[in-house]
Structure 1
Amino acid sequence: MMMRSAGILMPLTSLPSPWGVGTLGAEARAFVDFLARAGQTYWQVLPIGPTSYGDSPYQSFSSFAGSPYLIDLDDLCAEGLLKPEEYQGLDWGEDPERVDYGLLYRQRFPVLRQAVRRLRARRLEELAAFCAREADWLDDYALFMALKGRHDGAPWSQWPAPLRRREPAALAAAARELDGELWFWKGVQFLFFRQWEALKARAAEQGVAIIGDLPIYVAEDSADVWADPSQFQMDEALRPTGVAGCPPDGFSADGQRWGNPLFDWEAMKADGYRWWLRRISFQFRFYDVLRIDHFRGFEAYYAIPAGAENAKKGFWKPGPGLDFFRALEAAIGKRPIIAEDLGFLTPAVHQLLADTGFPGMKVLQFAFDSRDGGGRAYQPHNYPANCVAYVGTHDNDTALGWLAEAEPADVALAREYLHLDPAEGENWGMMRAVWASTADCAVVQMQDVLGLGNEARMNTPSTLGGNWQWRARPGFAAPELAARLHRQMELYERLPAEAAE
């Protein structure tokens, strides 16, 4: 699927901007140009949906909507939908290297309301055409968000029964009463989609493909579950009977209790996996390549009783297996998919990966970290060609952070195996290991390219607070850095095909 190539993992929220968070605007366009100059084929991003409590991009209000935070305000101003004084004088936070999501929540939406009011007044026909085209998911999402607003942000499980159960008369009455709010939430998605499509076109012009990230599960408090609860393991009161997570391991003695409702795979199979085929097909409107998170959950998934405090009492249940992926290929054809095959793996998971033909993932840190027990399978001399190699993912520490925090014996082994040289920069030595490997694709975090430590870690699993906040400083994508990366791509034959000729 992937020729010998390389990419950089850089969350959109981590881009610089004066307005509190990275966006789809000028800095994103500049980063695309940087990737092209650096000889990169791919830009890998984290999920781009609207985030809920905890600010995790893996807990979104919708599998289809885009995050309002990613809409660029300067671009709205340039097209006359905002005035400079409506956003430039506001407090967007004091630390340019961290996202303050609480402040962002308070400041961002009043500004977007100004933009949507002008959009409705000046371009109603264009907006209406978008709403008609996207009605399949947009109507439910807009009503879901409007009802959340009416109920002070409460999850849908706490709404009055007629709305929880989606009784037609109650939904129709709510839609009439909240007409203005429906237009607002639909208008926000119009703005997001236009900016996303423009950025994706810019990337294509520069020969940069976008790798997206699809969480396997959806949030309980989402338009997805509210609109179609029959696809999930719910009781008659529309409460989950079990929730998702993963068992205890070297990083967490209690395991991880994610809390997402589990899929009713029997019901999904009975209707030809309609819900999933629609979801994945839609993602390929956003991305060129799709990384499916927690791939092992399709072979068997970890089910935790809904009332359990942690993941210790969970147990494994069979997933849909190869039958699902055959149905997917029959519906949308062969698509470039990366399987996130990390975690507790069994021979059956390895067989499913082989049967699909998807490239799996290899994480260099796991080759040496005794807490995880990944071992030799993650050492570069054992990589198969059909994989994507990482120094670390968004759930890992940065390269320098890992060297500073891991067990001394593990770090000593890594330094010996990788011949790390402080004069070169040990982060560069770790990146060089995945670039030099036989993996078809190698992706490194931007934090590692910049040589940042633990302060730039994106996420620490099983923790709340302090995650998803890292941002790069203005000027981070310097020409000399692009040149250094480009030379590494030349050395290890990872330049895009056109650039290598």
Structure 2
Amino acid sequence: MNRQRASGILLHPTSLPSRWGIGDLGDSAYDFADLLAAAGQRIWQVMPLGPTGYGDSPYQSFSAFAGNPLLINFDILLEEALLAPSDLADAPILPDTAVDYGAVIPFKQRMLRRAFARFQQGFADHLRPDFEAFCETQASWLNDYALFAALKSANGGGSWSSWDAGLRSRDPAALDAARRTYADEIAYQCFIQYLFFDQWLALKKYVNDLGIQMMGDIPIFVAYDSADVWAHPELFFLDQEGRPTVVAGVPPDYFSATGQLWGNPLYRWDVLRERGYDWWIERFRATLTLVDIVRVDHFRGFAAYWEVPADEETAVNGRWIEGPGADLFEAVERALGALPIVAEDLGVITPDVEALRDRFGFPGMRVLQFAFGGKADQPYLPHNHIQRCVVYTGTHDNDTTLGWWRTASEKERRHVQLYLGRSGDDIAWDFIRAALSSVADTAIIPLQDVLSLGSEARMNTPGRPGGNWTWRFSLHQLTPAIISRLKELTMLYGRYVEPAPAEQETDQVDEQSVYT
């Protein structure tokens, strides 16, 4: 990664304003990028961009390569004549402060099918060469994913493990028959992937032209009910019926007496090694087409991971298994060059994980909400930060900083007040100041903290089965005063790069105001 000091904002696109019930890749995304630039921010961090399943979590996607059709903007489709105004006349009234997935999903699917129908009728025919080129260049993953999605639709959304035996086992004759039977649905699935990639890459170019980098996520594991596992069963520990024999989790610790049983199938690293880690190379290649920097979730699993028998009800009876280690990243770097990776190294990290991270120069993470209430050697405290790390006030799995403060122990609160020399009356911005002033090369702030929001704006509560990933904001909440305040602190702590002279703003910030 670039070692120049920088800062940015964590905001998933679903949280953007939009009149269609969920944040998308339309005008509000461009407006948000403009506001980032105005505030001197140089990174926009998002979560995984794949199609989501049960629970609507971006970390449980139907594909490690596909994009989420819910992010497709309809206004752009109207401009392209893929939708007519009459198509949207029956749009439901959807909330603008949260995502109601139960209402949004059928509505967006209905509109996307109308767009595809119009495309088949010859509307927006100027897009056809690009669409055909997309299908050809992305065939290595798109063909399997489109068939998977078509079969999933034909089976009422059921997991691939519930399909007919020939389809579960990918019998060639059964697959050929399915491709003929569901040819139209397969074409539709390819088409909406084209729309997503077309809109996302246009947004990314705009963001990059503003001098802002996109940071995205690669979760180490994939969902069992995914095109990845169905299309590549040889890469996972599955039995003859296609069921996992062992699954992922984390062992019991201070926070959970039974550990965490995630349930994701585990990789057969021996098979991947024999194949030169081809699937992982392509996964990194695809992700680095969509984003500039990759945060690798659960990085410690590449050094060693917690394996749990699939029939266990908790993660207690698991064991540590050695991961691929440096061998994987050396193979990926040989294929793709130096990797712009941030290693998610939160929690109890052992020396082998640190050695793997440091061998490749990957920056780790520091989260300020984890820093207080202990001793002076706590690594998340700002005076213990190093340059090669990324400091966060909190992550998508944390409460907002204001929400955390309201429920923090008296010991934590007192430590914060002594350490920061602040009362805590403006705790979100106290933490923002601490993050931006850190020696860490990069500081990332969730937008909820910039807006000083409480627990009502929390994005995810781990372990909660529903109600996550719904938070949204309005652009008017990012007032000129907030933008100016963020820019001031960004300048004060050396994370701001002046624009080129021709683009320089005339209303410079009052230098005295940063000391008030």
Q: Same fold (TM over 0.5)?
A: yes
**More off after superposition, 361-370 vs 255-264:** 361-370
Partner of 1:25: 26
Q: Is the 8 A contact 2:78 2:85 kept in 1?
A: yes
Q: TM-score if structure 1 supplies the norm length?
A: 0.96
CA offset digits 1:113-169 (Å, max 9, x no partner): 011122232324432222122111111111000000111111001111110111111
Q: Is the 8 A contact 2:10 2:46 kept in 1?
A: yes
Partner of 1:477: 478
Q: Give the CA deviation at 1:498.
A: 4.4
Partner of 1:6: 7
Q: 1:388 aligns with which of 387, 390, 401?
A: 390
Partner of 1:340: 344
CA 280–344 in structure 1, closer or farther in 2 if over 3 Å, else same? same
**AA at the equivalent of 2:397:** D
**AA at the equivalent of 1:262:** L
Q: Secondary structure of the residue that 2:216 maps to in structure 1?
A: strand
Q: TM-score if structure 2 supplies the norm length?
A: 0.93
- The separation in 2 between residues aligned to 1:26 and 1:280, in whole angstroms, is 29
Q: Is the 8 A contact 2:46 2:215 kept in 1?
A: yes
CA 251–91 in structure 1, closer or farther in 2 if over 3 Å, else same? farther
Say whether 1:449 aligns with 2:453.
no
- The separation in 2 between residues aligned to 1:392 and 1:17, in whole angstroms, is 25
Q: Give the CA deviation at 1:468.
A: 0.7
- The separation in 1 between residues aligned to 2:24 and 2:329, in whole angstroms, is 34
Aligned counterparts, 1:23-422, within 5 A: 23-94=24-95, 96-120=96-120, 121-122=122-123, 123=125, 124-368=128-372, 376-422=378-424
**AA at the equivalent of 1:152:** G
Q: Give the CA deviation at 1:47.
A: 0.7
- The separation in 1 between residues aligned to 2:347 and 2:89, in whole angstroms, is 45
- The separation in 1 between residues aligned to 2:255 and 2:89, in whole angstroms, is 43
**AA at the equivalent of 1:407:** S
Partner of 1:434: 435
Q: Give the CA deviation at 1:401.
A: 0.5
Q: Give the CA deviation at 1:408.
A: 2.1
Q: Give the CA deviation at 1:336.
A: 1.0
CA offset digits 1:354-408 (Å, max 9, x no partner): 11110000011111266xx996100000001000000110011111000011222
CA offset digits 1:404-454 (Å, max 9, x no partner): 11222112212221222456x211001110100100000000000000001
**Structure 1: 5+ residue stretches without partners:** none
Q: Secondary structure of the residue that 2:386 maps to in structure 1?
A: coil
- The separation in 1 between residues aligned to 2:458 and 2:36, in whole angstroms, is 21
Q: Is the 8 A contact 2:459 2:470 kept in 1?
A: yes
Percent identity over paired residues: 48
Q: Is the 8 A contact 1:82 1:115 kept in 2?
A: yes
Q: Secondary structure of the residue that 1:475 maps to in structure 2?
A: helix
**AA at the equivalent of 1:410:** E
> Aligned residues, how many?
497
Q: Secondary structure of the residue that 2:56 maps to in structure 1?
A: coil
CA 497–350 in structure 1, closer or farther in 2 if over 3 Å, else same? farther
- The separation in 2 between residues aligned to 1:374 and 1:279, in whole angstroms, is 40
- The separation in 2 between residues aligned to 1:156 and 1:404, in whole angstroms, is 44
Partner of 1:488: 489
- The separation in 2 between residues aligned to 1:254 and 1:98, in whole angstroms, is 33
- The separation in 1 between residues aligned to 2:377 and 2:253, in whole angstroms, is 14
- The separation in 1 between residues aligned to 2:250 and 2:499, in whole angstroms, is 42
**AA at the equivalent of 2:368:** L
Q: Is the 8 A contact 1:42 1:211 kept in 2?
A: yes
Q: Is the 8 A contact 1:5 1:441 kept in 2?
A: yes
CA offset digits 1:463-497 (Å, max 9, x no partner): 21111111112422333322111111110000136
Q: Secondary structure of the residue that 1:376 maps to in structure 2?
A: coil
CA 446–333 in structure 1, closer or farther in 2 if over 3 Å, else same? same
**More off after superposition, 310-319 vs 430-439:** 310-319
**AA at the equivalent of 2:313:** E
**Structure 2: 5+ residue stretches without partners:** 505-516
Q: Is the 8 A contact 1:31 1:477 kept in 2?
A: no
CA 369–108 in structure 1, closer or farther in 2 if over 3 Å, else same? farther
Q: CA RMSD in A?
A: 1.7
**More off after superposition, 101-110 vs 166-175:** 101-110
Q: Give the CA deviation at 1:314.
A: 2.0
Partner of 2:510: none
Q: Secondary structure of the residue that 2:300 maps to in structure 1?
A: helix
- The separation in 1 between residues aligned to 2:107 and 2:465, in whole angstroms, is 23
- The separation in 2 between residues aligned to 1:411 and 1:381, in whole angstroms, is 18
Q: Secondary structure of the residue that 1:54 maps to in structure 2?
A: helix
**AA at the equivalent of 1:420:** R
- The separation in 2 between residues aligned to 1:52 and 1:71, in whole angstroms, is 17
- The separation in 2 between residues aligned to 1:267 and 1:9, in whole angstroms, is 36
Say whether 1:462 aligns with 2:466.
no
Q: Is the 8 A contact 2:373 2:411 kept in 1?
A: no
**More off after superposition, 477-486 vs 226-235:** 477-486
**More off after superposition, 410-419 vs 460-469:** 410-419
